[in-house]
Copies of this chain bind each other. A is one copy, B any other.
Amino acid sequence: MKTAVRKLKNPPSIISAASVCGAKEKDGPLGDYFDIHDSTDTFGKDTWEKSESEMQRLALNCALSKCNMRDSEIDALFAGDLINQCISSSLGLIDFDIPFFGLYGACSTAVEGLILSSSLIGNGTIDAAAVVTSSHNCSSERQFRLPIEYGGQRPPTAQWTVTASAAFILEKCSKPPYITHVMPGRTVDKGITDANNMGAAMAPAAIDTLVRYFSETGKRPEDFDGIFTGDLGYEGFSIVTELMKNQGYDIESVYSDCGLLIYNRQAQDMHAGGSGCGCSASVFASYLLDRMKKRELNDILLVGTGALMNQMSVQQGQSIPGVAHLIRVQNSYDKEGGK
């Protein structure tokens, strides 16, 4: 196995980010951090699929206007989502005249897009890029499980697909925060077959990526202000905390998960926490980047986690591999520093 961590020569800046969310996310502890919300979750559209597309359109529009840019100034657009054939992205972003790279990384899509865009900017291939992703509870539930109108019961390990979208604009190194290091994850299959326990399916991939990151760089968990996984929820969070300790890395004091941050476990009963492409994307675009701007956080690891399955693969008894992509985001960086 070759080294997977890449230090970007000219770390690109995240010059703008925007988030769009639904009612439950607005009611949650991070509600005030999101830019746009719709308490009906419809965003004025007549199907849930169109609502999700509209969220992406709003997110990218908002991110572009925040940094005063037009689509004609962006070299590449990286986008993906959970809906079959990623139509939320391709139909939602059709108005933007930007070369389009469709991604599928399940819930790791935002970080996958940030790795690819920052690598292309960091090494001079392009100057500016946008990354967009989304998930919608109602379009996801009816595609993967049952229409929510059926009122099906969910086991305690089940996570709640977040209704949210986020967009990021990256540009050549100009101002903090910077994406300084990237590390794409490999797919990890530990034989989990329970589609209602995605946290357990994704946790082994997060551990694989984190352990390899620490081992390749010589860094320790305490070197960071925070380590955030994408959407492991309570199940996955406990597994990662416990098994990382077994591997010699006590991450507990700096570790959190976007699927835990987005809802209030006491006031909102979301079972095992949030999940979906929009989960880590919207938490990073709003709450985490805001804390970086305020210098409460200056050096973090964001680990996007994805469960690689579809309805039929689960029905056919196939296990659910996970993948975890990592980026290091810093307010300042050492031009000559090591790995």
Q: Which A residues form the contact surface with B (CB < 8 A)?
A: 1-2, 4, 6, 47, 49-50, 72-76, 80, 82-87, 90-91, 93-94, 97-106, 112, 115-116, 119-120, 122-127, 183-187, 189, 306, 308-313, 316, 318, 321, 323
Contact = CB atoms under 8 A, between A and B. Distances in A.
A310 B87 contact: yes
A119 B6 CA distance: 15
22 contacts: A2-B73, A2-B127, A49-B313, A49-B316, A50-B318, A85-B106, A86-B308, A90-B187, A91-B318, A93-B187, A99-B183, A100-B186, A100-B323, A101-B103, A102-B103, A102-B105, A102-B106, A102-B112, A102-B306, A103-B103, A104-B104, A123-B124
A2 B72 contact: yes
Given A84-B84, A125-B123, A310-B87, A184 B99 contact: yes
Contacts of A94: 187, 189, 321
A62 to B, nearest CB: 20
Number of copies: 2
B75 A2 contact: yes
A85 B83 CA distance: 8
A176 B290 CA distance: 49
A306 to B, nearest CB: 8
A313 B87 contact: yes
B312 A6 contact: no
A216 to B, nearest CB: 12
A104 B106 contact: no
Given A119-B120, A313-B91, A103 B104 contact: yes
Contacts of A105: 101-102
Nearest to A314: B87
A160 B122 CA distance: 41
A190 B133 CA distance: 24
B310 A83 contact: yes
A1 B72 contact: yes
Contacts of A116: 101, 116
A82 B4 CA distance: 28
Contacts of A47: 316
A255 B313 CA distance: 39
Contacts of A75: 2, 4
Contacts of A312: 49, 84, 87
Contacts of A119: 120, 125
A185 B85 contact: no
A104 B80 contact: yes
